[in-house]
Amino acid sequence: MPEESILERVINDILDKQDQVKITDKAIVFTVENASYEIRLGQCNSHQRILYWVTHLLEKSWVTPQMVTSFVWLACWHHKLPFQEFD
């Protein structure tokens, strides 16, 4: 059986954590312990804006590395932004 690609692993991880990070028609929504935090899709529509949000999210005590990864991949996927896979 072929090895799972990085993209496939990330997508599967995102699907496994749908309750924590999901995309709606207007925002990427983080949900942790009955609280939610939204980043509007228009605020993460370029690589520069995504990087800004990553640095902002990393300051939050409730954010995990997996949540940040999910955010980056969902934002890139939604806005059809290119991303580099590293093996």
Indicate if the alpha-carbon torsion angle 45, 70, 82, 57 is positive or negative.
positive
Does the residue 37 lie in any domain? yes
pTM, 2 dp: 0.76
- Domain of 13, in residue numbers: 6-79
- Predicted pLDDT of residue 6: 75
Rounded CA-CA distance 27/58 in Å is 18
What is the mean predicted confidence (pLDDT) over 48-70?
A: 94
Does the residue 85 lie in any domain? no
Q: How far is CA 75 from the centre of its chain?
A: 6
Does the residue 54 lie in any domain? yes
pLDDT at 79 over 90: yes
Does the residue 86 lie in any domain? no
Q: How far is CA 1 from the centre of its chain?
A: 28
Does the residue 87 lie in any domain? no
Count how many domains the chain has: 1
7 band by pLDDT with thresholds 50, 70 and 90: confident
pLDDT at 66 over 60: yes
Q: 74 near 24, Cβ under 8 Å? A: no
